[in-house]
Amino acid sequence: MEATSLRKRLVTHISLLVVSLIMMYPIFWWLGASLKTNEEMSSANLFPKIPHWVNFSEGWVSVPNFTFTHFYINTFQLVGGVLFTSVVSCSLVAFAFSRLDFPLRKMWFAIMLVTLMLPTQVTIVPQYVMFSEWGWINTYLPFYIPHLFAGGIGGPFFIYLLVQFMRSVPKELDEAAKIDGCSWFSIYWRIMLPLVKPALVTVAIYCFLWNWDDFFGQMLYINTIDKYTINLALKLFIDSQGSVPWGQMLAMSLVSIVPSVLIFFLAQKHFVEGMSAGALKG
């Protein structure tokens, strides 16, 4: 019996290892291609014989008058503002839905949930026309303002996730806080936010990743290089040159995912805690 169990575990682990290697192959190819010259791109070798590390340094300064440091700062400025406004506004709306009793609360919550099924493409044209008339094109306001009012990418989902967490917090805490003289805002700030920290971290991670990778929205509203983010800067490798420096472009695309990977792994504990708690409490 022990020998049979050992063989089953061995087969299982080997199978998982093989599947993992197959799944990781595109990443290995990406890393290897970022170290190749254009002539080596068609080579069957996964990694070049002589790594072309200069792709990273040359790619960093490949855009005339700008470096990728500038594009990194722009990206953090855009995503940081969106992250702050989204977390604050969505937590406030979720607190209202979960704690306050106001007219037609259930109806408004249902309408909010319906927007989860509304494709983003449906709102692109009216939003663009509206922001254009307000003079917001080529600014970061089309990203900040919708999230300020709990809209934007993932807004309804974030509200729903936070509502499930806040509903699990006993309302006796609210009553005790009121007896001590706390206002609704004090209850939200001093009691609710610390208790739903895992959910807030989960929302922050999702918001960061989705907005960091949002190429279409950034391409739609930003049209000058000085305001470009990393996503838009990568397309300059194709737009500005007849011969595309594939190695440099892949090297910079590899660099562009570093913040996303770091944030995910650094906050992984809170992320897993938030998702598992949400599944149990929702």
Q: How many domains does the chain have?
A: 1
Interval 53-68: pLDDT, tens: 999 999 999 888 899 9
Asked, for residue 55, whether it belongs to a domain, the answer is no
Asked, for residue 100, whether it belongs to a domain, the answer is yes
Asked, for residue 113, whether it belongs to a domain, the answer is yes
Amino acid at 256: S
Asked, for residue 251, whether it belongs to a domain, the answer is no
Mean predicted lDDT score pLDDT of the chain: 87
Residue 146 token pair: 């919708």
**What is the pTM (predicted TM-score) of this model?**
0.85
Distance CA 235, CA 242 (A): 13
* pLDDT in the model for residue 138: 94
Torsion of CA 247, 250, 251, 254, to 10 degrees: -160
194 CB burial (10 A radius; 0-12, 13-18, 19+): exposed
Residues spanned by the domain of 216: 73-225+261-281
Q: For position 163, which CATH number holds? A: 1.10.3720.10
Task: Please state, for a pLDDT cut of 70, what percent of the chain lies above it.
Answer: 93
Interval 203-245: pLDDT, tens: 998 899 899 989 999 999 999 999 999 999 998 888 655 678 8
Residue 142 token pair: 């089309």
Interval 158-200: pLDDT, tens: 999 899 889 888 888 888 988 888 888 999 998 999 988 888 9
Per-residue confidence band for 39, with pLDDT thresholds at 50, 70 and 90: confident
Q: Give the mean model confidence (pLDDT) for residues 244-255.
A: 90
Q: Give the mean model confidence (pLDDT) for residues 251-272.
A: 84
Dihedral class, residue 138 (left if φ above 0, else alpha if ψ from -120 to 50, else beta): left
Asked, for residue 165, whether it belongs to a domain, the answer is yes
Q: Annotate 89-108 with b (16+ C-beta within 10 A) or e (fewer).
A: bbbebbbbbbbeeeeeeeee
Asked, for residue 41, whether it belongs to a domain, the answer is no
* pLDDT in the model for residue 1: 57
Asked, for residue 54, whether it belongs to a domain, the answer is no
Dihedral class, residue 176 (left if φ above 0, else alpha if ψ from -120 to 50, else beta): alpha
Asked, for residue 254, whether it belongs to a domain, the answer is no
Q: Annotate 114-135 with b (16+ C-beta within 10 A) or e (fewer).
A: eeeeeeeeeeeeebeeebeeee
Compute the chain's Rg from CA coordinates: 24
Does the structure show a pLDDT above 70 at 122? yes
